[in-house]
Amino acid sequence: MIRKNPRLRLGQTERQLMRAAGKFNAGVMDHIRPLVKAGVRTEAIDKAVYDFTVEHGHTPACLHYAGDTTPYPKSCCISVNDVVCHGIPGAYELRDGDIVNVDLTTIVDGWHGDQSETFLIGQPTAEAIKLVQCAFDCLYMAIDALTPGCRVSTIGETIAPHVKNNFGYGVVDKYVGHGIGMQFHQRPNVPHVPTQQSRRDRLDAGMCFTIEPMVNLGTHRTRMDTRDGWTVRTADNQLSAQFEHTILMTENGPEILTLTQDGPQKGHCFSV
């Protein structure tokens, strides 16, 4: 849901507030990291997100976030295996071989930090590891391609050919990154494939946005689980992986606001 009329270009004080929000959000990811393992229910991870966030005086942005039909019921999104995004934490117990994306957003003093990470549980297949590596590399390739004032389409023009030509995977086009600040979702849309609008929009200094490529092992197409109105799955039930960071475009180039201390850093190679 893209809100209208936000302030897109931030001054130095506002940039510091976004840096603080991103830093705390990354800390939440590191806090729950030890829980993302076989035998743990996804609802336990969600509770840890909620407890840690509110104990520090902040707000989980996903909790009760308005959807098309019903507010989102949990504090984070946890998407396992063929779930592309917006998976609702519950009684599911993580199993050896799963891949699981944890998507966190926190409101800190009115400003949003947003990121996601795909975890390998136990010993996934070589095919699953290759997919996760692809999604991770796509995120950093796109960040590295950005310059102040560049077109938003630089992101899709970097990701889509790399995935198609080297892997033959599907890049989800229905769900996109977005501008972010005092509002969770704002302009511009940040698709991971090039579009006409993304060729018109630019990423000027002072703008904050997310890059969050969703890469599917098979088709790029998705389907909504009508039972809850939130969970998005791959249309062919094959695996999906995603990584996300909140980015601030500065006068000198992109700055990642949601870097973790304990998670995979640029250049990381996944293995089990």
Torsion of CA 125, 137, 165, 214, to 10 degrees: 70
Q: Tens digit of pLDDT per residue, the chain (272 long)?
A: 444 456 689 999 999 999 999 999 999 999 999 999 999 999 999 999 999 999 999 999 999 998 667 899 999 999 999 999 999 999 999 999 999 999 999 999 999 999 999 999 999 999 999 999 999 999 999 999 999 999 999 999 999 999 999 999 999 999 999 999 999 999 999 999 999 999 999 999 999 999 999 999 999 999 999 999 999 999 999 999 999 999 999 999 999 999 999 999 999 999 86
DSSP single-letter state for residue 217: S
The one-letter amino acid code at 228 reads: D
Which candidate, 258, 126, 235, places its Cα nearest to that of 180?
Answer: 258
Dihedral angle sign, alpha carbons of residues 33, 34, 38, 43 = negative
**Per-domain residue ranges of the chain:** 12-256
Q: Could you tell me if 141 and 166 are in contact, meaning their C-beta atoms sit under 8 angstroms apart?
A: no
Q: What is the pTM of this model?
A: 0.95
Burial group, residue 17, by CB count within 10 angstroms (0-12, 13-18, 19+): middle
Q: What's the 3-state SS for 92-154?
A: CECCCCCEEEEEEEEEECCEEEEEEEEEECCCCCHHHHHHHHHHHHHHHHHHHHCCCCEECHH
| C-alpha closest to that of 78 among 122, 29, 5, 127 | 29
CATH of domain 12-256: 3.90.230.10
CB 225 within 8 A of CB 218: no
Q: How far apart are CA 92 and CA 94, in angstroms?
A: 6
Helices 42-55 and 12-32 sit at what angle, rounded to 10 degrees? 140
